[in-house]
Amino acid sequence: MRKVTVKLEMNVVMSVDEGVKISDVVNELDYQINDTTTAADILDTEITDFEVVDSLQDSKHLLFKSINMLVSSKTLFKRKDLSMSKKTFIISIEEQCTDSPAKAVRVNILSEAGKLWIQPIGYSDKTSADGHGYPVSLEIWQGRLRLIVFSDINAEDPQIIDMENARETARNRCNWCKKEIGTEFIKWKGLLFCSEHCLDECRAAQ
């Protein structure tokens, strides 16, 4: 059994309304490569790049757009159940500090087999080939939500961040009035209270 990434190049000809950004069209494409062989299953396809190579325009619409797409197909040479949905999204993030030079990074987001993979273009992990690594992922493991980050391309071990303390239900709240508690609270028998009044009310109800 082996997992192989194959880079394909294809032309897509489409009719596009005037004024529509081609990048927006590409981001919304629902593309599929049919598996006609019994030797392999296509697990995922993603658009990794595109280029407008031709454009014919009349007075109303852009009639044709030829787009070269590099499609990464992760192919596993073993028959398996492919019933789980897979989707890929392409977004762009930009520099947020107004004092820094403008910078933008394109990010591929892959949803596959119940797990979320994040691939900022130009960033990877130690064991993946350049252009194919997903250094950030979000998953549920043993009932707990966790974030996995490969923050150093020269290190094999990732940082694993348990997200359970970020649950909305994990907020510190008064055991009596249920209001959110700040940095100051009263603890009694392992329970949290926002004030002496709430603690007295709880004691009286015992």
Q: How does pLDDT run along the chain (206 residues), one tens digit per residue?
A: 466 777 777 777 777 777 777 777 777 776 667 666 666 666 667 666 666 665 554 433 333 333 344 444 443 333 334 344 678 889 999 999 999 999 999 999 998 888 999 999 999 999 888 988 999 999 999 999 999 999 999 998 999 999 999 998 888 888 888 888 888 888 888 888 888 888 888 888 87
Residues 90 and 160 in one domain: yes
Measured distance CA(80)–CA(113) in Å, rounded? 12
Same domain, 33 and 93: no
Q: Are residues 50 and 123 in the same domain?
A: no
Based on the domain organization, do 20 and 73 belong to the same domain?
yes
88, 142: one domain: yes
Structure confidence at residue 49 (pLDDT): 67
Pair (134, 190) in one structural domain: no
Question: The dihedral of CA 153, 155, 156, 157: what is its sign?
Answer: negative
Q: What is the pLDDT of residue 53?
A: 61
Spatial neighbors of 24 by CB under 8 A, at least 6 apart, are none
Number of domains in the chain: 3
In this prediction, residue 30 carries a pLDDT of: 65
Structural domain span for residue 97: 84-167
Alpha carbons 30 and 17: distance in angstroms, whole number: 18
Of the residues 63, 83, 103, the one at which a domain ends: 83
Residue 4 and residue 59 in one domain: yes
Pair 59, 131 in one domain: no
In this prediction, residue 61 carries a pLDDT of 35
Residues 114 and 187 in one domain: no
Q: Looking at the structure, do residues 71 and 9 belong to the same domain, yes or no? A: yes
Based on the fold, state whether residues 27 and 68 are members of the same structural domain: yes
Q: Specify whether 56 is located in the same domain as 79.
A: yes
Exposed/middle/buried for residue 195 (C-beta within 10 Å: 0-12, 13-18, 19+): middle
* pTM score of the predicted model: 0.51
Show which of 27, 55, 83 is a domain's final residue. Answer: 83
